[in-house]
Amino acid sequence: MDSAMRRNGLVQQGLLLLIWSVFGLEAVDPSQCIAPLGMESGLIQDEDISASSSFDFKYLAPHHGRVRTETNGGAWCPATQATPDTNEFIEVDLKTVHMITATETQGRFGNGQGVEFAEAYMLEFYRPRLQKWKRYRTKANEEEIKGNINTYLESKTILDPPIWASKVRFLPYSSHMRTVCMRVELYGCRWSDGVVSYSMPQGDKKGTSWEFYDFTYDGHWDGEKLKDGKCEFSGVGAVRQPNASAHLLTHEVFFVCKA
C-alpha cells in the first residue's frame, strides 16, 4: 500500500471517529457478552428450533440438535447430504435481538453409534428491520466456518465481527457429498439498549487496483448506499487489490448509536 493510499485510509478513519464522537457513540465490549443462550440448557424451547428438513423427524429432528445432549438419535440430521450447493439448515429463534459473539457445533455421537458431523458450515441471520435473511461474513470476507473433526469433540468459533440477530441458521457445508448431522449452541447476550440503524455510502474503486468496499456491513446495499445496518456493528473495512494479497484498514471500533 503506497503512502497516498495509506493517508487516504487514515483520513477516512479519522472522519469516522469524528462522526462517532459528535453523535455520542460509546464503546461496546463483545468479550463481556459470552453466555450460552440456551441450546444445551433447554432455555431455548423445542418449538423455537426448526429446520429445512429432517432425515427422521422422531429421532433426528431439529430439537435434538443441542450440544452435549444425547436424546433419541442424538442430533439433527437433514434429509439430504451436504454438498457445495445444498441449503439445508437448522434454525434457532431467539425471539428478540441478541448480540451473538460465538457459535459451537458437534456431530452426532449417538452413544458411540454415530459417524456423521459437519466439517464446515455457514451462518445466516435475521432481525426484523432487515426483513430478510443475510449470509454472515467475517472481516476477511469469508463465509465458511470451520466445523468438526469427529462426532464428539465440540468446535467453538468466536465471531468477528459479532452478529445482531433474532434468528440464526446453521447451514452444514461440504466440498464433496457427505452425510452430516449437527448439534449447536449460540453465545452472546440479549440486546436491550436503545439502538438505531444507520446508512452510509458504500466504498468505491480507486482506479483498477484498489477497492474500498465494506464487506462486513450487515444491512443491505441498494447500489448506492449501505442501509439498515446495526449501529453497533464493527467499523472495520477491507481494502482489496485484485490478484494480490488482501490488506485491511484496522480501524476497529464497536459502537452504539443512541436514539
Considering the domain architecture, whether residues 14 and 56 belong to the same structural domain is answered as: no
Boundary residue ending a domain (139, 168, 190): 190
* Strand ranges (E), 127-201: 134-135, 145-146, 155-173, 183-190, 197-201
Considering the domain architecture, whether residues 64 and 157 belong to the same structural domain is answered as: yes
Longest dimension (CA), the chain: 62
Boundary residue ending a domain (174, 190, 206): 190
Considering the domain architecture, whether residues 133 and 144 belong to the same structural domain is answered as: yes
Considering the domain architecture, whether residues 204 and 140 belong to the same structural domain is answered as: no
Q: What is the dihedral of CA 118, 86, 175, 116, to 10 degrees?
A: 30
Residue 104 located in a structural domain: yes
Share of the chain above pLDDT 70, in %: 63
Q: Contact, 191 vs 179, CB < 8 A? A: no
Considering the domain architecture, whether residues 180 and 88 belong to the same structural domain is answered as: yes
Considering the domain architecture, whether residues 150 and 211 belong to the same structural domain is answered as: no
Residue 3 located in a structural domain: no
Name the more confident of 206 and 153.
153
Q: What whole-number distance in Å separates Cα of residue 150 and Cα of residue 119?
A: 8
Residue 252 located in a structural domain: yes
CATH code of 162's domain: 2.60.120.260
Considering the domain architecture, whether residues 81 and 146 belong to the same structural domain is answered as: yes
Q: What whole-number distance in Å separates Cα of residue 24 and Cα of residue 233?
A: 15
Instruction: For the beta carbon of residue 212, count every other beta carbon within 10 angstroms.
Output: 18
Residue 38 located in a structural domain: yes
Residue 2 located in a structural domain: no
Considering the domain architecture, whether residues 34 and 21 belong to the same structural domain is answered as: no
Considering the domain architecture, whether residues 53 and 149 belong to the same structural domain is answered as: yes
Q: What whole-number distance in Å separates Cα of residue 33 and Cα of residue 11?
A: 32
Q: How confident is the model at residue 29 (pLDDT cuts 50, 70, 90)?
A: confident
Q: What whole-number distance in Å separates Cα of residue 141 and Cα of residue 143?
A: 7
Residue 77 located in a structural domain: yes
* pLDDT tens, residue by residue, 174-229: 999 999 999 999 999 998 754 445 455 656 555 555 555 555 566 666 666 656 56
**Average pLDDT of the residues of the chain:** 78
Number of compact structural domains in the chain:
2
Give the mean pLDDT of 58-79: 96
Considering the domain architecture, whether residues 45 and 168 belong to the same structural domain is answered as: yes
Boundary residue ending a domain (190, 208, 226): 190
Residue 212 located in a structural domain: yes
Most confidently predicted of 51-55, 107-111, 112-116: 51-55
The residue with cell 464428539 is 152
Give the mean pLDDT of 231-242: 41
Residue 4 located in a structural domain: no
Considering the domain architecture, whether residues 133 and 215 belong to the same structural domain is answered as: no
Owning domain of residue 214: 10-28+196-256
Considering the domain architecture, whether residues 153 and 203 belong to the same structural domain is answered as: no
